[in-house]
Amino acid sequence: MIRFADHPGWFWPLLILWLPSIIVIMVWSWRQRHRILSRLGNPELIQQLSSSVSRIRRRTKEMLRLGALAALLLAAAGPRFSTELTEVTRKGVDIVVLLDVSNSMLAEDITPNRLEKAKFELRRLLKELRGDRVALVVFAGQAHLQTPLTLDYAAFEMFLDIADERLIGVQGTSLESALLTGLRAFPEDEDKFKTMILISDGEDHEGNLENVLEQAQAANVVIHTAGVGGFAGTPIPILDERGEVTGYRKTKTGDVVTTRLTTKSLEAISLATDGRFVHLASAGSSLDEIYSDILGMEQKEFTRHEFTNFKEQYAWFAVIALVLLLIDFILSDKQPVDRRMEMTGTLEDREHD
């Protein structure tokens, strides 16, 4: 496995363009030399006069220089090699995040809106994690497992970024569906190290929570809840493809639909599973209290394999470049002469004299 050192943004474009440019210049110089020689006189006479120069050796020397340049460029890139596969062990718990993406989460009683506030707090939470596996479930009238349990926080954040009201075709808010999907995301062979974080405005339009809470209690899953939004009625905006407000949702009679935070269901869920309820309502509110409780849970070991001990290996390429340049310096571009033929020719000249 190979990696390269970090460089300024201009380094890699320069490296990619430099070598092909040199090859083009070399080919151009070969053609120019051929054109100049062809203009000097009779090609056969020029060939006889330059017979002492070996074209093959000249090309070989040029290729040696090109190879040395390529090796120097690779050395400058700072290559790092590692063939050592080590086992990395981390301790943590399994955290399944249940994120409400229903239309009511677009309400702007929190700047910029409830959904963006929830995403912001989850990104902050990700920076605090130190080995916990996380999964993402998005829900509205239905629920969908967006990201299975993973230690790849970058992948989790990528799916979090694209989570919005368009991901779920059936609108509404079904906390039961979200919790059932979250329970299925945990490993079946474990009876601890499991917790959920449910973020919603609490407007549960359907479902029976008693049955799913009994399943969560039987599986020893601690469910923390976060209510996002204000208690005053707020209209639900309609957004276009660019995310701009084009109007507000209305009933069939033309009345503007309003939404408000409902904490009853959220508090009941956290209370039944020994979790914590927090209210995300202002810039100062966060999920820190919930994560403090998660840190106090019993943790398990997660094992994975990684390539480690990446060491600088630029010296090998520098040595290769030096060797190629030495060969180029030692190698003559003169045509090799047969010593026996040279001595025979000298004797014949003497006898003739």
The alpha carbon of 48 is separated from its chain's Cα centroid by a whole number of angstroms, namely 62
Structural domains of the chain, with CATH: 2-83+311-352 (no CATH), 88-305 (3.40.50.410)
What pLDDT is recorded for position 83?
60
What pLDDT is recorded for position 347?
45
**What is the greatest pairwise CA distance in the chain?**
126
- Residue 40 CB partners (closer than 8 Å, separation 6+): 46
Grouped pLDDT means (10 residues each) for the chain, 353 residues? 58 68 76 71 60 72 82 77 65 93 92 92 91 93 93 93 85 89 91 92 78 94 95 87 83 87 94 95 81 87 61 80 88 64 50 52
CA 340 – CA 204 distance, rounded (Å): 102
The predicted model scores a pTM of 0.63
Burial class of 68 by CB neighbour count within 10 A (0 to 12, 13 to 18, 19+): buried
What pLDDT is recorded for position 189?
80
